[in-house]
Amino acid sequence: MFLYMQGKKELLSFGLGSISILGVFLIWYLVGELEVVSELFIPHPRSVWRAFLEVSTDGYRGGTLLVHLGSSLGRLIGGYFAAVFLGVPLGLLIGLYPKARILLNPLFEFYRPLPPLAYYSLLILWLGIGELSKITLLFLAALPPIIMNARAGVENIPLHRIDAARTLGSRPRGLFFQVIFPSCLPFIFTGLRVGIGFAYTTLISAEIVAAVNGIGWLVLDAGRFLRTDILFMAVIVMGVTGMVLDLLLRTLEQKLIPWKGYQ
């Protein structure tokens, strides 16, 4: 019964969500049909679809859509995974050891609110205009939320849960893998989702400077040449890709921690 209700509820929210998307599309379509605004500003959906087919097959300035998307996602994944593998252990460490927190916090608090673009020029200066500076930028963008959430995970473990484990014979060393780490998983996942969002929004910044491919670069370059149809298409592709990435993480989260939200 409960599952059925939940299914129905999901269907309802999906339906309502589709209505808003369809509504916007309809307005866009009407604007295009009635030629209210010049194609230069708002291209007809048909032109955008043609641009999609054109860039998908013939490519845009040396690469098909898939190539551009692929090189962007490659950078994203590179920077993001580095942030996950460093950020999660570091966050747990800061949460577990007050001394690590005292040592690292001032540094972290300084770097955390900096907009990534502020230090991007410096990264280019140090690491060159190739892939390394871009990946490093995405890495630095994804890192803070991952660290902060892993740390919050440790700080939010119910103390009685630790007591329960100890009274059931957990040794201090086993305690980490038996209780602390799994207890932190819901928070860690929140960090992973926010982190990929931060990295993704920084992607376009990373591709502003000295890139010759990538979906972010495609948006900028099409804008520069007033190819509004391609620009629209690329923005839509970026949006959909972002949604898919979040959906992937959410699905993984539901698989791994179905108990999230319960104590």
Contact residues: another protein, CB under 8 A: 158, 160-161, 163-171, 174, 178-179, 182, 185, 257-259, 262-263
Instruction: Specify the residue, 15 or 98, whose C-beta has the smaller distance to another protein.
Output: 98
Instruction: Specify the residue, 85 or 177, whose C-beta has the smaller distance to another protein.
Output: 177
Instruction: Specify the residue, 106 or 169, whose C-beta has the smaller distance to another protein.
Output: 169
- Tokens 């690491």, residue located: 127
Instruction: Specify the residue, 179 or 204, whose C-beta has the smaller distance to another protein.
Output: 179
Q: In 10 A of CB 209, how many CB atoms?
A: 16
Least distance CB 225 / another protein (angstroms): 53
Least distance CB 246 / another protein (angstroms): 23
Q: Is 62 left (phi over 0), alpha (psi -120 to 50) or beta?
A: left
Q: Please choose, from the candidates 206, 77, 84, 205, the residue with its C-alpha nearest in 3D space to the C-alpha of residue 146.
A: 84
Least distance CB 169 / another protein (angstroms): 3
Exposure letters 113-135 (e unless 16+ CB within 10 A, then b): eeebeeebeebbeeeeeebebbb
Least distance CB 206 / another protein (angstroms): 36
Report which residue type is found at 141: A
Q: Do 96 and 256 touch, CB atoms closer than 8 A?
A: no
Least distance CB 256 / another protein (angstroms): 9
Instruction: Specify the residue, 70 or 182, whose C-beta has the smaller distance to another protein.
Output: 182
Least distance CB 252 / another protein (angstroms): 15
CA 135, CA 71: separation in Å to the nearest integer? 11
Instruction: Specify the residue, 99 or 161, whose C-beta has the smaller distance to another protein.
Output: 161
* Sign of the CA dihedral running 19, 240, 242, 213: negative
Angle, to 10 degrees, between the axis of helix 181-206 and the axis of helix 65-96?
140
Q: Do 75 and 203 touch, CB atoms closer than 8 A?
A: yes
